[in-house]
Amino acid sequence: MRELTEAALLEAVRGWVEIESPTQDAAGVNRVADHVEAKLRRMDARIERRSGVDGFGDILLGRLEGERQGPGLLLLGHIDTVHPLGTLAGPLPFRVEGDRAYGPGIYDMKGGNAIALAALEHLHAQGRKPLLPVTVMMIPDEEAGSPTSRAAIEAEALRHAAVLVPEPSGEGGRLTIARHGIARWQLRTIGRPAHAGAYHAKGRSAIREMAHQILAVEALTDHARNFFVNIGIVAGGTHENMVPAECRAVCYALVPTAREEAELREALLALRPHDPEVRLEVVQGISRPPYAKTPAIQALYGHAAALARGIGFDLAGERVAGGGSDGNFTGALGVPTLDGLGVIGDGPHTLEEHLLVSCLVPRTRLLVRMFETLGEAGTMADSKR
């Protein structure tokens, strides 16, 4: 992409968005991987593609040479979305209305992926390379918590000097310099079935027991600390005239720091049945660790802000994000991670998902400049890991 124009970048975004890729549709996710692989091959990248497991799509890596050798930059994105097949042809077609471009996954995060690849394509078209080597890593299962990708992400991050994540910018264009963690836990109660009329006294209700546990778990919430504990799914019982023998619930918690994560773990593992004749099981599910801003992350942000001013715009600032991304894994390892480098917009995971067309050129130019300059003296502080 020799010229970074609004029309060319919007067409590049459209190429990503019009391949539907809900997480559970491995074939669709892999079609996006094919699309990205073709772009990377045209840039002479060395391709590594790891076959998907457990019903998920493939992990794709493309390694691009830099002007210098040594640990480089990991560009980390995901190619799955939450929108089911048929969304594009139905309630959320790709369309442009004024400054807004709509489509499934356009904000989270196909728009960001598209402009990040466009920045690298722009350098290649001009016969230039990024200053440091760049590894492009595309993940198939982020929207499900990255269950099959986490280990690969962490291993790859540790080989790099810094991680750039083109997840969408928040709050009108802020970059993400830290993220709260997300913890999921599975609760199960096992009671004793009985006829709810003739033999009610012989039963032990699993749902009644779960109700006690829900109240105890949600009482951990502390809004002042941004520590939110929510039971979002409850399922139990088989018939209204039967004392329910089993009930399941899912706990989803936002844990701003390791302190709250440990507090939640301790409290959940300390739960005991209210009714001693009902059994309680508590099992940890998929989680994302929190990470805080470090001097190395501050250096990345400061460099990006200076580059933006040089291009002719000001970043909206920095933020601590409540939602999770694969940047949680890399940041928690101590690898300098700058997230939220993607597009500006709104409506993630809804039928109003959109990006602002006017952000495409300046945000892509910022990424070009970051690839050109990261690695120069003063652009990255030493990591403490």
Domain ranges of the chain: 6-180+290-373, 181-284
- Under the banding of pLDDT at 50, 70 and 90, the label for residue 382 is low
- Burial class (CB within 10 angstroms; exposed 0-12, middle 13-18, buried 19+) of 233: exposed
Q: What is the CATH number of domain 6-180+290-373?
A: 3.40.630.10
What pLDDT sits at residue 322? 87
Q: What is the pLDDT of residue 314?
A: 95
What is the Cα–Cα distance from 341 to 369, expressed in whole angstroms?
13
Select from 51, 13, 52 the least CA-distant residue to 35.
Answer: 13
Banded model confidence at residue 378, pLDDT cuts 50, 70, 90: confident
3-state secondary structure of 282: strand
Phi/psi region, residue 41 (left: phi>0; alpha: psi -120 to 50; beta: rest), is alpha
Q: What is the mean pLDDT of the segment spanning 202-215? A: 98
Q: Is the model's pLDDT at 384 over the cut of 70?
A: no
Cα atoms in the 13 Å half-sphere on the side-chain side of 145: 12
Percent of the chain with pLDDT over 70: 99
Q: Please give the distance of CA 67 from its chain centroid, rounded to a whole number.
A: 30
In CATH, the number for domain 181-284 is 3.30.70.360
What does the pLDDT read at residue 244?
98
Mean pLDDT of the chain: 97
Give dist(CA 333, CA 328) in Å, integer: 9
CA–CA dist 255, 265 (Å, integer): 11
Per-residue DSSP letter, 37: H
Average pLDDT over residues 19-36: 98
The pLDDT value given to residue 380: 86
Ranking 188-192, 295-299, 321-325, 350-354 by mean pLDDT, the lowest is 321-325
Same CATH topology for 6-180+290-373 and 181-284: the answer is no
Answer whether residue 385 shows pLDDT above 60. Answer: no
Residue 323 has pLDDT above 90, yes or no: no
What angle is formed at CA 232 by the lines to CA 227 and CA 234, rounded to 5 degrees?
135
Phi, psi of 2 (to 5 degrees): -70, -40
Cβ contact 324:181 at 8 Å: yes
Write the pLDDT tens digit of every residue in 112-166.
Answer: 999 999 999 999 999 999 999 999 999 999 999 999 999 999 999 999 999 999 9
E-assigned strands of 71-133? 73-78, 95-97, 100-102
Which is nearest to 33 in space by CA: 107, 140, 118?
140
Band the pLDDT of 265: cuts 50, 70, 90: very high
Structure tokens at 96: 């442009």
- Residue 177 pLDDT > 50: yes
pLDDT of residue 210: 98
pLDDT of 1 > 90? The answer is no
CB 30 within 8 A of CB 49: no
How far apart are the C-alpha atoms of 300 and 365, rounded to whole Å? 16
